[in-house]
Amino acid sequence: MTPLDSRVPAGPLAEKWDRHKFEMQLVNPANKRKHPIIVVGTGLAGASAAATLSELGYRVQCFCFHDSPRRAHSIAAQGGINAAKNYQNDGDSVFRLFYDTIKGGDFRAREANVYRLAQVSGNIIDQCAAQGVPFAREYGGLLANRSFGGAQVSRTFYARGQTGQQLLLGAYQALERQIGRGAVEMHPHTEMLDLVVVDGRARGIVVRDLVTGRIESYAAHAVVLATGGYGNVFFLSTNARNCNVTATWRAYKRGAAFGNPCFTQIHPTCIPVSGDYQSKLTLMSESLRNDGRVWVPARIGDARPPRDIPEDERDYFLERKYPSFGNLAPRDIASRAAKQACDEGRGVGPTRLGVYLDFADAIARVGAQAIRDRYGNLFDMYERITDENPYAVPMRIYPAVHYTMGGLWVDYNLMSTIPGLHVIGEANFSDHGANRLGASALMQGLADGYFVLPATIGDYLASTPFAPVDTSHPAFRAVEADVAERTTRLLGVRGNRTVDSFHRQLGKIMWEKCGMARTEAGLTEALADIPALREEFWRTVTVPGSGQELNQALEKAGRVADFLEFAELVCLDALHRTESCGGHFREESQTADGEALRDDAHFAYVAAWEYAGEGTAPVLNKEPLEFETVHLSQRSYK
């Protein structure tokens, strides 16, 4: 591979994006129709990109495995979206949002990208408001804000507890408008199973129609992946059940470098696991930490009901350890603190893997009605799942896998190491470094889709000579054959173990050995366990039914097969990065009081892994991170 070129434009940080927009080549309006573009994914990133590219005049073909573009996992985001509008006059600015994001990411993100993200954040809110997104309002009709996820300014815009849903519906509606006009060809219920690279450029994809089972090819001048994150490699996560790594993993195997796969985020406030039957974990919005106090019994093994434990026998551990941020400490820090408390034997609930999130003080202070107004739907959701009334007894929460900062490596133009393959949203290695701040994923997805990619992809299209390639090209035949062969193999094992049982077992390995705290020994074990499990999978898995029909078992099998390969890369990355940073905590690298200890001298880089063939260790490429504007410091939230 050619050395990683981040293509960050020269010039002062604040001027880079403007200058770059000017320097990029433009596609003549009349020529845009001649450039077909494939967009895979219809979450915030994909739907906004597909709609915008089509508005610009490109010929867009859009794909998602869901039965409707509106069901993408982005729909589940609750809390809100950040933007540096400074509507609250509380000292926010583009620079502050940029700085918070870089620091929150523990200095493992690219400055120029993050600055651009902060710059366009305001335009996102403008765009969404123009689409009729029903953001929360003040009585005077202006937009309301809240502070979220440990930010010290109120810059989060929200639509009740359904921000992701409303933003996605805005983008989806824009997309449907283009579909209705016949300008976007939409293929729902269609899963991308491989990427087609011709003469070193991404020129198309091979998909499976999930209803008929047909394997089909689509050709284009550029391919955009907006396929979301891979949190489900842990089996249990807050992600929707069908989120998977297949699209990005297949692209990786065709030559796209994978950036920082070990950077995964564990969210502190999720409903604890209750039994083996559990299929997914439910996030309780982070906003709950604005009023709830987190605690565990001070004494190990104290099993009294929470209300019987007197105040002085409780340990409000976040307030104790981080007096200035208290219960609002960033996600990685809050999660780890909860894990520590449970490791010490002070966990609560039937499984002892939980801590209390207590609203008693808030209820006493502002009244139950005020709390109901703020969090009513969340409290109802909690009660529905646990059968416990959180107004009367404290909630029990525990960290769960939530977001993946890692993803395909992209340059400043959001293009991967395969020319023509662009990656946006959670699927790229993104602007969040080693840890993402709350309400910043929605911002990034929409920044990429509405504003960044539509500008940068033109540069690629305008500056590239395109040989005529359609799906009759032999490269398509070859990839189709690969895909068909894989499907046949999955169906042909005819063993006796279900796909889910493998997924569950993989998740357990990952959670225990590559979860909230990682060690060399644990990761080394995982790197032995995963190939063994994969081998067993291909020997004993059972996938009933055929390939020529709607077959959910087959869909799932393909995704788990990819997870079984991908998990190894995650562990490898985690093993090589011997520092702790953000969501990646290596027990070997901590301060005296147990905080993450970064090693900037050796690890201030993006690890971009390159596929080197079956059975060969992947190649590690490093993109050094240069900090021209911010000063690297050890994060402290004390």
Q: Does 12 bind another protein (CB under 8 A)?
A: no
Amino acid at 98: F
DSSP SS3 for 610: strand
Is 76 exposed, middle or buried, given 0-12, 13-18 or 19+ CB atoms closer than 10 A? middle
When binding is defined by CB under 8 A, the residue of 1, 26, 143, 493 that contacts another protein is: 143
Residue 70, contacted partner among ligand FAD, another protein, none, CB below 5-8 A by kind: another protein
Residues 224-243 within binding reach of another protein (CB under 8 A)? 240-242
- Contact positions with ligand FAD (CB under 6 A) in 559-598: none
CB of 1 to ligand FAD, least distance (A): 24
Residues 14-43 that bind ligand FAD (CB under 6 A): 40-43
What spatial distance separates the first Cα and last Cα of the chain, rounded to whole Å?
43
| Region of residue 213 (phi > 0: left; psi between -120 and 50: alpha; otherwise: beta) | left
**Shortest gap between Cβ of 79 and ligand FAD (angstroms)?**
3
- Decide: 83 and 439 in contact? Cβ < 8 Å: no
* Euclidean distance between CA atoms 138 and 122, whole angstroms: 18
Tell me the three state secondary structure of residue 28: coil
Residue 177 interacting with another protein (CB under 8 A): yes
Least Å distance between CB 442 and ligand FAD?
4
Q: Supply the DSSP string of 158-217, one letter for each residue.
A: -STT-HHHHHHHHHHHHHHHHHHTT-EEEE-SEEEEEEEEETTEEEEEEEEETTT--EEE
Pairing of strands 36-40, 59-63: parallel
Q: Report helix, strand and coil shares of the chain as percent, to nearest 5.
A: 40, 15, 40
d(CA 410, CA 219): 22
Rg, C-alpha atoms of the chain = 24
465 binds, among ligand FAD, another protein, none (CB under 5 to 8 A by kind): none
Rounded Cα gap, residues 142 and 157, in angstroms: 11
126 binding another protein? (CB under 8 A): yes
Q: How far apart are CA 67 and CA 192, in angstroms?
A: 14
How far is the C-alpha of 129 from the C-alpha of 135, rounded, in Å?
7
Q: Is residue 555 at the binding interface for ligand FAD, with CB under 6 A as the rule? A: no
Q: Which of residues 427-456 bind ligand FAD (CB under 6 A)?
A: 427, 439-442, 445
> Binding string to ligand FAD for residues 127 to 146, with x set by CB under 6 A, is what?
--------------------
Measured distance CA(269)–CA(286) in Å, rounded: 6
Nearer to another protein, 5 or 67 (CB): 67
Which of 87, 325, 356, 460 touches another protein by CB under 8 A?
Answer: 87
Name the strand (E) or helix (H) holding 291: none
Nearer CB in complex with ligand FAD: 71/598: 71
Task: Say which amino acid occupies 581.
Answer: C
> By CB under 8 A, is residue 379 in contact with another protein?
no
Residue that the structure tokens 């996030």 belong to: 283
Q: The tokens of 436 are what?
A: 């993402």
> Which of residues 288 and 337 has its CB atom nearest to another protein in the complex?
288
- Give yes or no for residue 21 binding another protein (CB under 8 A): no
Pick 65 or 87: Cβ nearer ligand FAD: 65
Contact track, another protein, 575-614, x by CB under 8 A: ----------------------------------------
Do 106 and 330 contact (CB within 8 A), yes or no?
no
Q: Which does 227 bind (CB under 5 to 8 A by kind): another protein, ligand FAD, none?
A: ligand FAD
| DSSP letters spanning 505-545 | HHHHHHHHHHSSSB-HHHHHHHHHHHHHHHHHHHHHB---S
Scanning the structure block, which residue is given the tokens 């440990």?
150
Partner from ligand FAD, another protein, none contacting 52, C-beta within 5 to 8 A by type: another protein
348's tokens: 């609560």
CB atoms within 10 A of CB 301: 8
553 is an interface residue for another protein by CB under 8 A: yes
The secondary element (H helix, E strand) that includes residue 364 is: helix 360-366
Q: Pick one of 17, 65, 295, 375: the residue that binds ligand FAD (CB under 6 A).
A: 65
**215: its two tokens:** 């394997």
241 binds, options ligand FAD, another protein, none, Cβ within 5 to 8 A by partner type? another protein
Candidates 264, 510, 514; CA nearest to 403 is 264
Among 324, 369, 488, 552, binds another protein (CB under 8 A): 552
CB of 435 to another protein, least distance (A): 24
Binding of another protein at residue 101 (CB under 8 A)? no
Q: How far is the CB of 274 from another protein (least distance, A)?
A: 5
Instruction: Report the nearest approach of another protein to the CB of residue 374 (Å).
Output: 15
Residue choice 76, 363, 484, 597 for contact with ligand FAD (CB under 6 A) = 76
Contact positions with ligand FAD (CB under 6 A) in 275-334: 283
- Which residues are the active-site residues? 331
Examine residue 125 and tell whether it contacts another protein (CB under 8 A): yes
How far is residue 546's CA from residue 489's CA, in Å, rounded to a whole number? 11
Q: Indicate which of another protein, ligand FAD, none lies near residue 439 (CB less than 5 to 8 Å, by partner kind).
A: ligand FAD
Residue 161 lies near ligand FAD (rule: CB under 6 A): no
Cβ-based nearer residue to another protein, 177 or 254? 177
Site for ligand FAD in 217-236 (CB under 6 A): 226-229
Indicate whether 505 belongs to the interface with ligand FAD (CB under 6 A). no
Which one among 45, 220, 381, 395 touches another protein, defined by CB under 8 A? Answer: 381
In angstroms, the CA 169 to CA 75 distance is 8
Residue 214 in the binding site for another protein (CB under 8 A): no
Answer yes or no whether residue 139 interacts with another protein by CB under 8 A. yes
Q: How far apart are CA 202 and CA 422, in angstroms?
A: 9
User: Is residue 223 within 8 Å of 98, Cβ to Cβ?
Assistant: no
Q: Mark residues 387-406: x for contact with another protein by CB under 8 A, - for none.
A: x-------------------
* Count of residues that bind ligand FAD according to CB under 6 A: 44
Chain positions 273 to 292 lying near another protein, rule: CB under 8 A, are 274-275, 277-280, 282
> In whole angstroms, what is the distance from residue 111 CA to residue 92 CA?
18
**Residues of this chain that bind ligand FAD (CB under 6 A):** 40-46, 63-66, 72-74, 76-81, 163-164, 191-192, 226-229, 238-239, 243, 246-247, 283, 402-403, 425-427, 439-442, 445
